[in-house]
Structure 1
Amino acid sequence: MARAENKVTAGPTAQMVANLARKLRLRKGWTQEQLGKHLGFSGAAVSAMETLAQPASDDMLVALEKVLGEGLGVFEEARPFIRLEKYPAQFQGYSVLEQKAVVLRPYETFVVHGLFQTEEYARALIGGGYPPLPEQRVEDLVEARMARKALFDREPVALIELVLEESVLRRIIGSPEVMRKQMLHLAECARRRNVTVQVLPLDCGLSGEHAGDRGTMNVMETPAHDRLVFLEVEGESLLITDPSKVSKLAQRYAKIQSQALDTRASLNLIEELAGDQR
């Protein structure tokens, strides 16, 4: 079922890669099994790639470039576009903006933000959702999510300011060990010079104010210094560009930051909770 669906929904880059790989293979007079041996994959994997039952993985694209690329760089250049096509449709447009952003300010209420997730946490989260996804689709989404982390080391550097609810840290996803590693990773990220991580405490509302009570948001500044806000809920998304609406949400985000623990106290809490998972 999933493989048949892939053939219908495969993006244009996946189709181009499949057609080109097949033509180059036939020009060499190789069977799918023979190409697979050169690539380090099975003949079945090559067949799945060529028929679009399973679009090429990042590792396969690297191998295809070495074996069939002939120095043209076609398969190498296809890698970011294949990754993009693996994202859910409602996220694809935002992912392009995210990778180019100069400032990102996400606020999360339920789970760790995708940029900060470990592979194990992402796999448990994606694999445990509903409706259940085929195993290969889970792996595709995990791979695509991990690829987003390139933003942390991109030049020019991006400023990333994360605020997350304390409940996110206390909500066990996968297992206590998965959560321990996730929180240690968060702590590691928080020590980066271009990253700040703040925790909005559970007792935030005791004062009668809780600026984050309307849910998650991602405030972004583009290279052209335009500000945007991305909202996502229940598989649906909304990109807000209207300056007055963006301004109101950016002000709300600033208020959320002011109500959160400072960076030192947030890091201490994350490390304390990580220790509790041992």
Structure 2
Amino acid sequence: MMQTVQQIETIAELRRQLREPRRQGRRIGFVPTMGYLHEGHLSLVNEAKKHCDLVVMSIFVNPLQFGPNEDFDRYPRDLERDLQLAASVGVDMVFTPSVAEMYPQQVKTNVSVAGVSEPLCGRSRPGHFDGVATVVLKLLQIVQPDYAFFGQKDAQQVAVVEQMVQDLSVPVKIVPCPIVREADGLAMSSRNVYLNPEERKQATVLFRSLQLAKQRLAGGEELESIRDEIVRSIQAEPLADIDYVELLRYPDLAQLDSVEKGERVLVALAVRFGKTRLIDNMMVTV
């Protein structure tokens, strides 16, 4: 019989429920999500269960990280299904606060992480990572986990969170987890449901382009020519509209003129197919 999962809607109740496990010295793992769960999220839970005695997941579509013309109201939601999926992989508690519970009044405190939040999505979605850092810090304060698990699909988000945790001495270990992909290579994302069949088919160019970049980096090609080749590869799909294609040093996301041996390069893409903006990336150690 599948276990049921404990759903908690208020900050006070979640803190109360976690007091006893914490007193017993049980290791608490935390998986923050915006819901509409897929295999990528569930892989974070499976990783959490390896390290922790108790797993808390949050489901909260955070308005602070959406810009004025972005898809906050359209963002897919299905709480009943999410709770069933969370139970199926053994999540112990799901924290599902309302916006009013998280932000009972206008938020006057803003967490801003300089440097790593500025390129890539930071440039095309101004204010996005301030919203991410603010909600993640708030959730870490509420849950106070020993470990928190983040998908590498948003590698910039991981870099921002790791920098914030380090700078503010937040007592949590951040665990980045590998991207989970569909059989044809498309990175799993809650936004994939927006794609029509033709957009969905053409979106597989993202993974093919990343694989191409990995081969070219291994062959020691110039970064600028690799970038140009990725751009040409993506533009060959008529529905693809490129937001950015970048090769940056990880984790500081600095611009690279050349690559030293042993350096980690983040190949990062953001491309629109119709109204749907998809991100993907690959980490390559040269």
Q: Which has the larger radius of gyration?
A: 1
What TM-score do the two structures reach when normalised by structure 1? Answer: 0.25
Higher strand share: 2
Higher helix share: 1
